[in-house]
Amino acid sequence: MAQKNIPYKIYLEESEMPKVWYNLRADMKEQHAPMLNPATGEPMQLEQLYPIFCEELAAQELDTTTRYIDIPEEIQNFYKMYRPSPLVRAYCLEKALGTPAKIYYKFEGTNTSGSHKLNSAAAQIYYAKKQGITSVTTETGAGQWGTALAMACVFFGMDLQVFMVKSSSEQKPYRKAVMETYGANVTPSPSETTEVGKKILAENPGTGGSLGCAISEAIEVAVHTDNCRYVLGSVLDHVLLHQSIIGLETKIALDKYEIYPDVVIGCAGGGSNLGGLIGPYMKDRLDGKNAPYFIAVEPASCPSLTRGRYAYDFGDTGNITPLLKMYTLGAGFMPSPNHAGGLRFHGMSPVLSKLYHDGYIDEARSVEQSKVFDAATMFARTEGTLPAPESAHAIWAAIEEAKKCKETGEEKTILFGLTGTGYFDLSAYQSYNAGTMSDYIPTDEDLQKGFDSLPKIPGVQ
Amino acid sequence: MAQKNIPYKIYLEESEMPKVWYNLRADMKEQHAPMLNPATGEPMQLEQLYPIFCEELAAQELDTTTRYIDIPEEIQNFYKMYRPSPLVRAYCLEKALGTPAKIYYKFEGTNTSGSHKLNSAAAQIYYAKKQGITSVTTETGAGQWGTALAMACVFFGMDLQVFMVKSSSEQKPYRKAVMETYGANVTPSPSETTEVGKKILAENPGTGGSLGCAISEAIEVAVHTDNCRYVLGSVLDHVLLHQSIIGLETKIALDKYEIYPDVVIGCAGGGSNLGGLIGPYMKDRLDGKNAPYFIAVEPASCPSLTRGRYAYDFGDTGNITPLLKMYTLGAGFMPSPNHAGGLRFHGMSPVLSKLYHDGYIDEARSVEQSKVFDAATMFARTEGTLPAPESAHAIWAAIEEAKKCKETGEEKTILFGLTGTGYFDLSAYQSYNAGTMSDYIPTDEDLQKGFDSLPKIPGVQ
């Protein structure tokens, strides 16, 4: 099919921007198994979620039937500050690869948080504020979620305490300065400020921490503070709902030029970006129409989809969250501290886990970080933008697919999510440039330790 | 006049993007005094510039008559990777200030170099490559120019050596990592690798360096290396020419909505951003039409326009450049090492100096850095984007003007240049957040030392 002259960047007018989020679950033939109360093994009821999440978010978390949910005007206005994000044709990367493939990426890194995380941060803080909540707590790994939340909190007028994975806070001291500029309080995790933090430190004195630990600390503070709630930047169904803005904008932009992707690629840690990006194209698959080939890419050092179990597990190391049915390495799994960047979560979005389990996501791949930085450097040098290590997982797979097209001569259209920029990941780039970066692939024994931490639930698993 | 509904961000289609640069000098009633050969006191001839600049750039440097110069297609394509830059209506800042003013900013920081510097880097490297030059040298202060040049060099295939002001390289270690990721060699300046560096170190052992020192070192290497040229990111007339893309895009975008600014504000170090931003609006002034009120903003610690002399001076501390007639603090002036960010150059663009001297630029203001960071923080918290300290000089003045409008009730349209992001300036934000940032205003005696370094030129000054 002859295509129109495609610009380097496809923009949307404000009038073209989505006014609703898309709830993928409304089109799923089968829902993922329900969130369980770990004390009883019974499905969590709406009211049981209220001590953790504010009411609107709890309702969104359990809503499996409303296909489109209105984006409140205040959130639409917040989005206008940094959205629509650019959809870019990677002409220069294509040329460097000598591929007949057409590569597009949706670039979520033009805001100061440096990633897509701001999409859900704005929504979560808006709803919390509306309910009269006065403070929130959260965890952050690479720091993108914490920064995003700090930006949303200062905008809507909300206090924020961030527990930052200790190894990340040491690798990225300036992320702390950014969050503080936006008014947040930042504590390296595990810390001595919570009971669960003290317990983890006692058991693993030298630990660099993990997202799971930081989540436990943040939830403990939220539950014990008046008018405070915990907010999470990935994994949960309501986060995927907010992130659907990524895929909706992408589809509107590509539709304008009558482009339909053959392959859609996203990096996957907790799954928020991948879930958001694939939304409207996955709808085609769920509706039985022609649809792209979907690829999830994860680090070889934290391979939940490719080597994990599909089981009920806690979302946190301290085992205080509800139980989620997902691909998981076990909440007790600790990723190697040599792993740069995010994508360190032991589990995976229950929605994506279900889609992968049932064959709707076609493939999951894992990749070692040295290859990730090869791809990141090639991308930076051709397309100009220095990518986040997380995003470079998707770049790596896009390059692999484009090379296959070079071999076969196929002119496939490849779409991937460039979730963010690497401006706060430069110690990792330094070590890559210096040739001192090492790869880590957990052995089966390493993984078994994580699996041993999976909860035993009578009558369920 | 009733205005149309103005979006938060005004974009241009690729077809609307400028295909020519605007040469402000073609409309100036009187040209600035010519560049002089310091050995003879005579105006530099075109051929005399060839050992320093490649031929096309030398020609642009001396061209005072061609009003519009075609942007080569290769540079237009490079621009498409990151341009048009967003023109943003600062709705949230306006609301926070409670001002009836309408504030717009042209945001040049969405590319990885983090600033407008890439506009001239691309042009300079393209022309050098075309002439068969194989390597270039340069200086960088805050690191934005060096990063921009590294991006352009890797794109067009050119070797690069960067001399980075030592105090900046210590404040911003990650800037070095970025430049290296794009393949550049980076040396802190003054260094022991050049004769002029050794001399400066012998005279000022503990110096944090200055742009003037780094320029001397870069020129020395360029002149003594085969097929190598020196490139400069600001001050020169050909740099202002390339930067006119900023003002041209701005005017096209505002014209679409029938908006004409009452006030135009830019930060001014060497003058490249200010010169580029004001271009097409200054044309109106030069043509005798209604035009905005132009304000240049500079640091109180390096106040060339507000406290400098309008005189011939060297562009570098080592006194090896041609002489430029400009507002200057003397090439021997060393800005205080406590000064964060860029805008550290002792002189000012000869074009802007002339326009200011003749009253076409209406006003120059200087501001202490603590006030700059007050403005930066307010901007970050309202508009979302963390600004570069340089850019925050313009934000400060825009806020001052908007506050005046609040007092008078005037609905002025204020346009300012947001030259870049502060993602690599976080040690300065850290010190501001911690309350340890200090201000420095040079005494008259401090300035006199710089003026004493001004060259004596028989028959000229």
Contacts of B254 (CB under 8 A, 6+ apart): B10, B87, B104, B260, B261, B415
Q: What is the pLDDT, as a whole number, of residue B5?
A: 87
Q: What is the pLDDT, as a whole number, of residue B1?
A: 42
Q: What is the pLDDT, as a whole number, of residue A169?
A: 86
Per-residue pLDDT of B51-88, as tens digits, reads: 888 999 999 999 999 999 999 999 999 999 999 999 99
* Helix extents (H) in B304-368: 304-307, 350-357
Mean of pLDDT values over A375-384: 97
Q: What is the pLDDT, as a whole number, of residue A24?
A: 97
| Cα–Cα distances in angstroms (integers) from residue A227 to residues A78, A186, A187, B125, in the given order | 24, 19, 20, 57
Any CB–CB contact under 8 A between A411 and chain B?
Answer: no
Per-residue pLDDT of B389-420, as tens digits, reads: 999 999 999 999 999 999 999 999 999 999 99
Is the CB of B426 less than 8 angstroms away from the CB of A174?
Answer: yes
Q: What is the pLDDT, as a whole number, of residue A396?
A: 98
Closest chain A C-alpha to B370 CA, distance in angstroms: 14
Residues 302-341 of B with CB under 8 A from A: none
Say which of B9, B14, B110 has its CB closest to residue A7.
B14
In chain A, what percentage of residues exceed pLDDT 90? 84
Q: What is the pLDDT, as a whole number, of residue A45?
A: 95
CB B97 within 8 A of CB B405: no
Is the CB of A433 less than 8 angstroms away from the CB of B181?
Answer: yes
Q: What is the pLDDT, as a whole number, of residue A1?
A: 42
Per-residue pLDDT of B154-193, as tens digits, reads: 999 999 999 999 988 887 778 889 999 999 999 999 999 9
Q: Which helix (H) or strand (E) holds B106?
A: strand B102-107
Q: What is the average pLDDT value for chain A, to the nearest integer? A: 94
Q: Could you tell me the pTM of the whole model?
A: 0.95
Say which of B11, B151, B429 has its CB closest to residue A11.
B11
Q: What is the pLDDT, as a whole number, of residue A134?
A: 97
Q: What angle do CA A100, A106, A110 make, to 5 degrees?
A: 130
- Going by C-alpha positions, the residue among B401, B432, B343, B389 that lies closest to residue B93 is B401
Per-residue pLDDT of B277-336, as tens digits, reads: 999 999 999 999 999 999 999 999 999 999 999 999 999 888 889 999 999 999 999 877
Any CB–CB contact under 8 A between B80 and chain A?
Answer: yes
Q: Which domains does chain B have, with CATH numbers?
A: 28-44+60-69+116-230 (3.40.50.1100), 84-114+239-451 (3.40.50.1100)
What gap in Å lies between CA B238 and CA B240, rounded to an integer?
5
What gap in Å lies between CA B362 and CA A58, rounded to an integer?
57
Residue B230 backbone class (left: φ over 0; alpha: ψ -120 to 50; beta: rest)? beta
Closest chain A C-alpha to B371 CA, distance in angstroms: 15
Kindly report which listed range (A333-342, B49-58, B352-361) carries the lowest average pLDDT score.
Answer: A333-342
Q: What is the ipTM of this complex?
A: 0.94
> Tokens representing B434?
């911690």
Mean of pLDDT values over A378-401: 97
Residue B355 DSSP SS3: helix
Is the CB of A426 less than 8 angstroms away from the CB of B177?
Answer: yes
SS3 content of chain A, % helix, strand, coil (to 5): 45, 15, 40
Closest chain A C-alpha to B434 CA, distance in angstroms: 10
